[in-house]
Chain A
Amino acid sequence: MAAPKKGRRSPGGQGRPGRTLVLILIAMVALVGGMFLSGTSTPRLGIDLAGGTSFTLEARNQPGKPNAINETNMNTAAGIMERRVNGLGVSEAEVQTQGTNHIVVNIPKGTDAKQARQQVGTTAQLGFRPVLTTTAGTKTPSTSPSPTPSASGKGDDGKKDGKDDGKEGDKPSTKPTPTSTAQGRAVTSALKKDPSDPPKASGSSTPAPKDTPQPSTGADEIPAALQKQLADLDCSTDKLRAQAGEKAAGVKPTDPVVACKDDGSQKYVLGPVAVEGTDVKDASAVFDSQQGQGWIVQMDFTGTGGKKFADITGKLAAKTQPQNQFAIVLDGAVVSDPRVSQQLNGGSATISGGFTQQTAEDLANMLSYGALPLSFKIADETTVTAALGGEQLQAGLIAGAIGLALVIVYLVAYYRGLALVALASLAVSAILTYAIMTLLGPAIGFALNLPAVCGAIVAIGITADSFIVYFERIRDEIREGRTLRPAVERGWPRARRTILVSDFVSFLAAFVLFIVTVGKVKGFAFTLGLTTLLDVVVVFFFTKPLMTLLARRKFFANGHPWSGLDPKRLGAKPPLRRRRTTAPIETKEA
């Protein structure tokens, strides 16, 4: 009954223990050889041991799209996020989906964690909304003019202030034109196009002095509730902006919304989403050397997206400042608010003006990766410095060494010569575990983290338990009056059953945990499962054959006092002839 695994035959039965031993040694050499051949001789270390930053992102459905969390979307999200993180210049970042609605992003040390967080944390929920009105980002009605003076464009049809001038926007000062010239943003359908719309381009004259929370422009179209919301909105601190962003992200795409600029310089009332993030096919940052515009962002739309974009730009172009702007809203925050001067057909557009390489790439990333119908929230972020990681690794290794030493001392004291078998088996087990962990690094992205180290240390106990079960069985048989060789063979089937049953339970626990749980628990479960499996392998293919071989040696067979199998010490009874006659027969069966 012990039994799902009963079918296993005892390998290395009395006849060919040597062959089994050679087999497992070959397997070991192959694994270790493979390890060196693959060029990795140490297991990949997790963030908590090597240092770095790890994010766990939790996916949430967007309002109105209840079924967006599914495997396909999560995988897309992970893929996009990987591109995006690696777009930061991180080569070894890894992104994995975990469970049904989590994505884990691991970024090794040496990367700007802050930048990474912004990139990782702000995916998705991208939308183009028309600007209804805008004002400076503080709560108190300020007299700050909206910093939207667009200067005579560097060859473009419109300029808009970028986020770089945000600080100035905070201050109630009129913006000097030169600055805004450099930093304005505009959209055009193509780079070569240079319609140079004079009324708008000569923007120094249009500083749109909206000095109250109730700007004259567009006030008639904006419901009072939103006006009030706008007046109450305070974008002055990170914290407040974060709250505002969260709130804005929760508004349905079809409703108007109030939102902050991501640097806090501006706040807006925005119309319903006109073009969704999913309508953007691709976006990239390009250095425009022909027109001398510096860095620009190119966008390509999908078929329907292009149409929608043409529609909205057509409408916007006819309006006046600031309603000719549209806001690119990412997770409730306005990341860019370019001005439109003409209808843009053809499914592509560029945003230009005042980008640095960095800002252009950031915006392009956000645009191209904002196409997911999911929003993510950082559920857990762990940054470990390399120093602490090293310390933790060291502590884990010390703990392992201490644990191992204690176990060895105990085994030697109690089992004497037999302890050699146990130690050899532990060593084989350790080598196999190490080699497999190392190989699994490149193969399935396994990374050794702290919980995994704990699992391995705990596994020392589990592995040693198996030997104890077997040794006690053998000793019981010797107490029956058997000599060692039959004892080893007779003890095995029963010990085997106990080992299998208990290892199965242990493995079951690890397996269920691995499948069901998330995060650190998973790493732990994996190690535990792996070592439990290896334990079975080692006991079957190493410990048992080794015992069989050793039983033939005089030192053990004659029960030397240091062998741990001294019949006298074990209190064995003198052999009983009557019983012995049956023993060998059973032995052969086993």
Chain B
Amino acid sequence: MSKLGNIGARLYRGEVGYDFIGKRKIWYGISILITITAIVGLAVRGLNMGIEFSGGAVFTTPKTSVSATEAEHKAEAAAEGHQATVQKLGNGGLRIQISELDTQQSLPVQEALAKDLDVPVKDINTQLVGPSWGEEIANKAWLGLGIFMILVVIYLAIAFEWRMALAALIALIHDLTITVGVYALVGFEVTPGTVIGLLTILGYSLYDTVVVFDSLKEASKDIGKQTRFTYSELANRSINSTLVRSINTTVVALLPVAGLLFVGGGVLGAGMLNDISLALFVGLAAGAYSSIFIATPLVADFKERDPAMKALAKRVRAKRAAAAAKADAPEQQETAQDAGDEDLPQDAESDEDAAGSMVGQRNQPASRNRGRGRPSGKRR
């Protein structure tokens, strides 16, 4: 682990780093591809809505000797033409799902089932859902989602700035789309548990994003007073310096969810634990990805459109060009972007005082050799 700590230190100082911003087009492309796949999947396959949304009944029986197929016939007979799906559970019980059964009609079915399967009525777990209830849950969830998005955009716009709020929102929608798309493509059943999981992603996805933004905001506090970095470069450094933190928080968030998924899926069979954790797992992974690869590059993109930032980028390029010309050779005359990447460490050393004013970017002269250890994107 100390190795990771070392990498953390080097990431922090910018010795190593990955050019997230420079390669953003690739990541945008990947995300757009995934999102389109998700949307197509959603459009073509649709969501497999659980009983809670379509209305119907789920009966869970204790251990019984009746086989699943046998139970299915019996259930369909008892339910008079409604479709029944029967699953054998890990504990030997059966999960009998009968679609579109009205709450009023289900009682006789339950009794018939109890008789057919030879289990006492009182030992059967039932869940009866009227068709409007699922809709109600879903509608309320949409409403909550809408309100939350508006509030959070307002909050982030105040706490940070509107560009970050917008980027965070896009990243959030991206996460949700991917999660929903995975559900459509894999055909997982959507239940209220799934909705809960999805809604939790809201908080989590943003949590990650906010951590990166916070570091970025801090780093760019005095951006107008220096000419060493463009906004994009600062953003990239922010991502890299918080990378360990992002990884740690994501891992720590995923571990309990993995525990839930393992127990929910492995021990109990399908159930609410499983539903929540599955949605969470997909969403959290997407959230961690999007905060690094989507949200922050987007902010950089938005920011670079800002006249002040444009001017800054120009100044930085000019300064670098001058420095490069002074330093030496014509072979250094590459594109400005490249020059930026390579000159960055040297600049940092030559301009110690400016670094002092840059919170979170304190560069120490001791690292003469840091440029070497830094596999900047362009060089690899």
The answer to whether A501 has its CB under 8 Å from any CB of chain B is yes
**Chain A 559-578 interface mask (CB, 8 Å, partner B; 1/0):** 00000000001111110100
- Contact (A461, B256) CB under 8 Å given A385-B125, A475-B8: yes
Most buried by B among A1, A497, A571: A571
- Contact present for A117 and B1 (CB under 8 Å): no
Residues of A near B356 (CB, < 8 A) are 579
Residues of B near A56 (CB, < 8 A) are 133
Residues of A near B123 (CB, < 8 A) are 385, 387
The answer to whether A103 has its CB under 8 Å from any CB of chain B is no
Which of A2, A102, A403, A476 is B258 in contact with, Cβ under 8 Å?
Answer: A403
A404 to B290, CA, bound (A): 26
Which of A510, A520, A570 is B272 in contact with, Cβ under 8 Å?
Answer: A520
A239 to B109, CA, bound (A): 10
**Chain A 277-314 interface mask (CB, 8 Å, partner B; 1/0):** 00000000000000000000000000000000000000
Residues of A near B91 (CB, < 8 A) are 391
Nearest chain B residue, comparing its CB with the CB of A237? B108
> What is the CB-to-nearest-CB distance from B356 to chain A, in angstroms, rounded to a whole number?
8
> What is the CB-to-nearest-CB distance from A395 to chain B, in angstroms, rounded to a whole number?
5
Residues of A near B68 (CB, < 8 A) are none
Interface residues in A320-356 (C-beta closer than 8 Å to B) = none
- Contact present for B276 and A381 (CB under 8 Å): no
- Contact present for A574 and B127 (CB under 8 Å): no
- Contact present for A458 and B256 (CB under 8 Å): yes
- Contact present for A400 and B244 (CB under 8 Å): no
Question: Which of A18-26, A204-212, A465-473 is the interface stretch?
Answer: A465-473
Which of A242, A455, A569 is B102 in contact with, Cβ under 8 Å?
Answer: A242
- Contact present for A1 and B8 (CB under 8 Å): no
The answer to whether B104 has its CB under 8 Å from any CB of chain A is yes
- Contact present for B130 and A400 (CB under 8 Å): no
A573 to B370, CA, bound (A): 13
- Contact present for A383 and B127 (CB under 8 Å): yes
The answer to whether B44 has its CB under 8 Å from any CB of chain A is no
Residues of A near B151 (CB, < 8 A) are 508, 512
A569 to B4, CA, bound (A): 10
- Contact present for B259 and A399 (CB under 8 Å): yes
- Contact present for A518 and B136 (CB under 8 Å): yes
The answer to whether B99 has its CB under 8 Å from any CB of chain A is no
**Chain A 62-106 interface mask (CB, 8 Å, partner B; 1/0):** 000000000000000000000000000000000000010010000
Majority secondary structure, A binding face = helix
> What is the CB-to-nearest-CB distance from A518 to chain B, in angstroms, rounded to a whole number?
5
**Chain B 101-143 interface mask (CB, 8 Å, partner A; 1/0):** 0111101100000000000001111111110110011001101
**Chain A 200-226 interface mask (CB, 8 Å, partner B; 1/0):** 000000000000000000000000000
The answer to whether A379 has its CB under 8 Å from any CB of chain B is yes
Residues of A near B210 (CB, < 8 A) are 498, 501-502, 505
Residues of A near B245 (CB, < 8 A) are 468-469, 472
The answer to whether A30 has its CB under 8 Å from any CB of chain B is no
Nearest chain A residue, comparing its CB with the CB of B151? A508
The answer to whether A407 has its CB under 8 Å from any CB of chain B is yes
- Contact present for B256 and A414 (CB under 8 Å): no
> What is the CB-to-nearest-CB distance from A50 to chain B, in angstroms, rounded to a whole number?
13
Interface residues in B266-301 (C-beta closer than 8 Å to A) = 267-268, 271-273, 276-277, 280
- Contact present for B211 and A502 (CB under 8 Å): yes
- Contact (A451, B217) CB under 8 Å given A387-B123, A398-B267: no
A399 to B281, CA, bound (A): 14
**Chain B 231-250 interface mask (CB, 8 Å, partner A; 1/0):** 00000000001101100110
A502 to B272, CA, bound (A): 27
Question: Which of B17-25, B30-38, B194-202, B314-322 is the interface stretch?
Answer: B194-202
**Chain A 435-458 interface mask (CB, 8 Å, partner B; 1/0):** 000000000000000110011011
Nearest chain B residue, comparing its CB with the CB of A472? B245
- Contact (A520, B192) CB under 8 Å given A457-B260, A461-B256: yes
A121 to B366, CA, bound (A): 77
A276 to B322, CA, bound (A): 93
Which of B158, B211, B215, B272 is A454 in contact with, Cβ under 8 Å?
Answer: B272
The answer to whether A423 has its CB under 8 Å from any CB of chain B is no
The answer to whether B204 has its CB under 8 Å from any CB of chain A is yes
Number of A residues near B (Cβ < 8 Å) is: 97
Residues of B near A407 (CB, < 8 A) are 252, 255-256
The answer to whether A315 has its CB under 8 Å from any CB of chain B is no
The answer to whether B313 has its CB under 8 Å from any CB of chain A is no
Most buried by A among B195, B217, B259: B259
The answer to whether A519 has its CB under 8 Å from any CB of chain B is yes
- Contact present for A380 and B248 (CB under 8 Å): no
The answer to whether B189 has its CB under 8 Å from any CB of chain A is no
The answer to whether A411 has its CB under 8 Å from any CB of chain B is yes
- Contact (A569, B5) CB under 8 Å given A117-B107, A381-B127, A521-B137: yes
- Contact present for A468 and B248 (CB under 8 Å): yes
Majority secondary structure, B binding face = helix
Interface residues in A17-74 (C-beta closer than 8 Å to B) = 48, 56, 58
Residues of A near B136 (CB, < 8 A) are 58, 102, 379, 518
> What is the CB-to-nearest-CB distance from B287 to chain A, in angstroms, rounded to a whole number?
12
A479 to B8, CA, bound (A): 10
Residues of B near A171 (CB, < 8 A) are none
- Contact (A513, B263) CB under 8 Å given A461-B253, A501-B159: no
- Contact (A468, B252) CB under 8 Å given A379-B136, A395-B273: yes
Residues of B near A512 (CB, < 8 A) are 144, 147-148, 151
Residues of B near A573 (CB, < 8 A) are 364, 366-367
**Chain B 143-156 interface mask (CB, 8 Å, partner A; 1/0):** 11001100110011
> What is the CB-to-nearest-CB distance from A263 to chain B, in angstroms, rounded to a whole number?
14
- Contact present for B260 and A381 (CB under 8 Å): no
- Contact present for A458 and B366 (CB under 8 Å): no
> What is the CB-to-nearest-CB distance from A514 to chain B, in angstroms, rounded to a whole number?
9
The answer to whether B377 has its CB under 8 Å from any CB of chain A is no
Residues of B near A238 (CB, < 8 A) are 104-105, 107-108
- Contact present for A513 and B126 (CB under 8 Å): no
- Contact present for A521 and B196 (CB under 8 Å): yes
The answer to whether B262 has its CB under 8 Å from any CB of chain A is yes
- Contact present for A516 and B196 (CB under 8 Å): no
Nearest chain B residue, comparing its CB with the CB of A461? B253
Interface residues in A221-276 (C-beta closer than 8 Å to B) = 237-239, 242, 246
A246 to B210, CA, bound (A): 52
Nearest chain A residue, comparing its CB with the CB of B206? A505
Residues of A near B141 (CB, < 8 A) are 513, 517, 521
- Contact present for A472 and B248 (CB under 8 Å): yes
Nearest chain A residue, comparing its CB with the CB of B133? A379
- Contact (A388, B264) CB under 8 Å given A505-B206, A519-B192: no
- Contact (A242, B255) CB under 8 Å given A398-B263, A469-B211, A520-B192: no
A520 to B140, CA, bound (A): 12
The answer to whether B350 has its CB under 8 Å from any CB of chain A is no
- Contact present for A451 and B276 (CB under 8 Å): yes
Given contacts A379-B136, A498-B210, A517-B199, 16 further A-B contacts (CB under 8 A): A2-B217, A242-B104, A382-B128, A383-B126, A395-B263, A399-B256, A403-B259, A479-B13, A505-B152, A515-B144, A528-B203, A569-B6, A570-B5, A570-B9, A573-B364, A573-B366
30 contacts between A and B (CB under 8 A): A2-B159, A3-B158, A3-B159, A4-B158, A102-B136, A238-B108, A379-B132, A380-B129, A381-B103, A399-B259, A406-B259, A410-B252, A414-B1, A414-B4, A457-B259, A461-B256, A468-B249, A472-B242, A472-B244, A513-B141, A515-B144, A516-B140, A517-B143, A519-B137, A520-B192, A520-B193, A521-B196, A524-B276, A573-B367, A576-B364
State the 3 A-B residue pairs at the shortest beta-carbon distance, nearest first: A403-B256, A571-B9, A403-B259
